[in-house]
Amino acid sequence: MRFDERFLDEIKSRLRPSDVIGKTVKLRKQGREYVGLSPFTKEKTPSFYVNDDKGQFFDFSSGKSGDLITFLQETQRVSFTEAVEILASEAGVPLPAVDPRAQEVEKKRQGLSDWLELAAQWFEAELRRPSGREARAYLEKRGLPESEWSRFRLGFSPASRTALKDYLVTKGARPAELVETGLLIAPEEGGAPYDRFRDRIIFPIGDARGRIVSFGGRAMDPQARAKYLNGPETSIFHKGANLYGLAEARKLIAAAPSGETPPLVVVEGYMDVIACQRAGIPAVAPMGTALGEDQLEVLWRYHPEPTLCFDADRAGRQAAGRAIDRALPLLTVGKSLRFAIVEGGKDPDDVLREQGPAALKAQLANTRPFVEALFLRERDLETLDTPERKTSLKVRLRKLAATIADKDLAQAYKEDLLARYEALWPTREPVYTVGAAAREMSRARWDKRKPAMTGAMAETKAAAEKMRHTPKPLAAALALAAVRDPHVLDDAIELVDRHGFGDEKLDAFAHELVRLRYETDHLEMDTAIRQLQARGMDPSFIATLEKDARRAGVAAPFLNQPAARARDLWRQAFDLLIQLESLERAVEEAARDLDRDHDSSTLMTLKAERDHLRKLVNSDWASETGDTPVLPH
């Protein structure tokens, strides 16, 4: 049986390591830790430590360390699955239902994993053979000595088209299996598959537990079309859910002294990750793609405020901007980001080689909070030299704050961002004195307009309240599509869990569907409906959903498109609904603040954008021809 990380985290959150381990090892409290004699070696002086805060044990006599699952595997000689089942029973957490199809998929997955592991060993060996001479010289030139190669399992793929294929076939692999792992490429025009990685330094990509799921390769030929090449999406490797270097980063976090929480740094490249980890800094990197929601959730499992350290060039700023946009709706207490920029246009690898570990740690410790990074990005989008541009900035800041699902945090962000906005133009003493009569005229004009603005505020509140309680056809269509193909949730599952489908009447259904998707890796429509009905869903609910979804009409083209295109359109429609929700909140906030700000232009601008988006939701925004709409930001 395969268990996802959330299930495992749920078990661990209910058990204190000192309680479980204390049943077999006599422990005594020592500061913030527990200490006892090693269960792995015979010793007279205690060197076995248990830290409940980190959920880890450390045995200095044998060099072993890990979590509760590892402890049971080591001491009771049980498999990973058996250890999880023992702990789940002790924690009172029910095991996920056994799915025969999922079991078959897991068996196949294990077979593919075995070939990936064998390939990693072959790549490592090739680095030390004559064909790897130039690769070895390159690594040494980059300041990475041979003594570190094994730690990161670095390898080399020779220039031959079939060297790896020939080796694995002699070990019993079928070419079709190797294509499925991403190790081989099957030509579209037909013909024999060939090695994907050729004449490249190889970086194995592991999952959170260190099991290899894919590879990345750095070209030795400076004229190569792709300097870096990553393995493709496969049944066991999803670029949007994996982070390079995560297993080693977890070890570094666990090994930190008691009471210390080292930073968890997100960098851009493989060599940057290696540089940070060599300096004792837990670091990871996305695989050549923008940091996604799944990756953010993985980061937050290990650190409340991971630090993003991207290059200061245009590409780095864009990557940081995309991360800000992805993270903003997900922010809450204990889930945020910080940002660091390495000085002088360098990357972490350069700093480590030129200045050493201490300098790298110091620079990565110099960070700015999320709210500051967000404000600076928006401030620097354009020159603020006209009233229109100043107002545009204020409108954007309000909209962005409103996208945060956590209402208390959204309010705090709005206040902080607007305070920063006001600080751009500090109040100065006027060069002339306004007469009392002029002040009275101004106040009279405002008092005359105030009832109309108050009426607008009431109208806005009434409209928002109506929107909140009127079923939205597009929301029903989104929910129906998620039942038909539960995998549409994969790229937005955290947002769906927080926002539902944009209609409070569907919230309970959305949460159940999300829970089901977390529990089952390979979920299909019939299984989803059966499981949801077993959890209390009315059998007539789907028919009602279909009826409501039909009212969405052309606003929901994803209901009648092939799977791949439907998933893309579904996500666009969902993003559209989330944007509309945030604009509704921003309009409400601006209306409430009207008496304080005396700023009707911001409210009017937000209402105009809100109304435009409402029309867009009910229009043919994605045609049958496959044109992709340009959605508002």
- Supply 338's token pair: 């910080």
Q: Is CATH 3.40.1360.10 what the domain over 246-377 is classified as, yes or no? A: yes
Per-residue pLDDT, 119: 97
**Could you tell me which residue, 532 or 631, shows the higher pLDDT?**
532
Average pLDDT over residues 177-189: 93
The token pair at 105 is: 């998929």
DSSP three-state, residue 219: strand
Report the pLDDT value the prediction gives residue 240, as an integer from 0 to 100: 85
Of these ranges, 59-63, 78-82, 262-266, the one predicted with the greatest mean pLDDT is 262-266
Structure confidence at residue 99 (pLDDT): 67
User: By percentage, how much of the chain surpasses pLDDT 70?
Assistant: 86
pLDDT at 425 over 90: no
Q: Where in the chain is the domain with CATH 3.90.580.10?
A: 5-91
Q: For the chain, how are helix, strand and coil distributed in percent, rounded to 5? A: 55, 10, 35
Asked if residue 522 has pLDDT above 70, the reply is no
534/623: higher pLDDT = 534
Answer yes or no: are the C-beta atoms of 494 and 331 closer than 8 Å: no
Q: What are phi and psi of 27, to 5 degrees?
A: -115, 150
| AA identity, residue 19 | D
When pLDDT is averaged across residues 107-127 and rounded to a whole number, the result is: 91
**221-238: average pLDDT:** 90
Residues 6+ apart with CB under 8 A from 429: none
Give the contacts of 9 (CB within 8 A, at least 6 positions apart): 301
Predicted pLDDT at 172: 94
**Looking at residue 619, what is its pLDDT?**
55
Strand order in the sheet with 28-30: 28-30, 33-36, 48-51, 56-59, 64-66
First vs last Cα of the chain: how many Å apart?
Answer: 42
Residue 193 · residue 173 · CB < 8 Å: no
pLDDT mean over 196-221:
93
Span of 171-180, 246-255, 381-390, 545-554 with lowest mean pLDDT: 545-554
- Only one residue has tokens 């204390």, namely 22
- 313 or 220: which carries more pLDDT confidence? 220
Alpha helices, DSSP H only, in 340-435? 348-355, 357-365, 370-379, 387-402, 407-423
> Does residue 628 carry a pLDDT above 60?
no
Ranked by mean pLDDT, the top range of 226-230, 555-559, 587-591 is 226-230
What is residue 406's three-state secondary structure? coil
Sheet holding 155-157, edge to edge: 155-157, 200-206, 212-219, 228-230
Is the distance from CB of 51 to CB of 35 less than 8 angstroms? Answer: no
Measured between alpha carbons, how far is residue 419 from residues 397, 415, 425, 426 in Å? 11, 6, 11, 11
Segment 605-621, tens digit of pLDDT = 888 888 887 776 665 44
- Collect all residues with Cβ–Cβ distance below 8 Å to 23 and sequence separation of at least 6: none
Q: Between residues 199 and 294, which one has the greater pLDDT? A: 199
Residue pair 613/580 in contact by the 8 Å Cβ criterion: yes
* C-alpha 487 chain-centroid distance: 17
Higher local confidence (pLDDT), 105 or 462: 105
Helix (H), strand (E), coil (C) string for 174-196: CHHHHHHHCCEECCCCCCCCEEC
Taking all residues of the chain, what is their mean pLDDT, rounded to a whole number? 82
Nearest Cα to 3, choosing from 56, 69, 72? 69
Q: Which residues pair with 215 in a beta bridge?
A: 204
User: Across residues 419-425, what is the average pLDDT?
Assistant: 91
Say which range, 45-49, 231-235, 409-413, 548-552, has the weakest mean pLDDT: 548-552
Are 300 and 285 within 8 A, CB to CB? no
Q: What is the pLDDT of residue 311?
A: 76
Give the right CATH number for 469-617 from 3.40.30, 3.30.160, 3.30.70, 1.10.860: 1.10.860
pLDDT confidence of 2, banded at 50, 70, 90? Answer: low
pLDDT for 417: 94
Distance CA 174, CA 253 (A): 39
Q: CA-CA distances (angstroms) from residue 616 to 54, 270, 452?
A: 48, 42, 28
Measured distance CA(384)–CA(391) in Å, rounded: 9
**26-35, 52-61, 552-561, range with the lowest pLDDT:** 552-561
pLDDT, one tens digit per residue, over 442-487 is 445 445 545 554 554 455 444 444 444 445 788 888 888 888 888 8
Is-contact 269 352, C-beta < 8 A?
no
Please list the residue range(s) of the chain that carry CATH number 3.90.980.10: 100-230
The answer to whether 161 and 193 have CB atoms below 8 angstroms apart is no
DSSP bridge partners of 156: 201
Q: How far apart are CA 621 and CA 628, in angstroms?
A: 8
CA dist., res. 370 & res. 391, Å (int): 22
Q: Do the Cβ atoms of 140 and 132 come closer than 8 Å?
A: no
CATH code of 5-91, in short, is 3.90.580.10
pLDDT value for 598: 63
Furthest CA-CA distance within the chain: 96
CA dist., res. 254 & res. 257, Å (int):
8
Q: Residue 326: is its pLDDT beyond 70?
A: yes
CB 34 within 8 A of CB 50: yes
pLDDT of residue 451: 56
Q: Which residue has the tokens 């220039």?
A: 159
For residue 141, the model assigns a pLDDT of 92
Rounded-to-10 torsion of CA 402, 407, 412, 413: -30
Burial environment of residue 488 by CB neighbours within 10 A (0 to 12, 13 to 18, 19 or more)? buried
Check residue 50 and report its DSSP letter. E
Contact 469, 504 (CB under 8 A): yes
Q: Which residues make up the CATH 1.10.860 domain(s) of the chain?
A: 469-617
Q: For the residues of 537-571, what is the DSSP string, one character each?
A: --TTHHHHHHHHHHTTGGG-GGGGS-HHHHHHHHH
Tell me what pLDDT residue 565 has: 82
Average pLDDT estimate for 384-411: 91
Q: Which of 541, 543, 610, 544 is nearest to 577 (CA)?
A: 610
Q: Does domain 100-230 fall into CATH 3.90.980.10? A: yes
Q: Exposed/middle/buried for 385, CB within 10 Å: 0-12, 13-18, 19+?
A: exposed
Q: Name which residue leads in pLDDT, 10 or 435.
A: 10
Q: How confident is the model at residue 547 (pLDDT cuts 50, 70, 90)?
A: confident
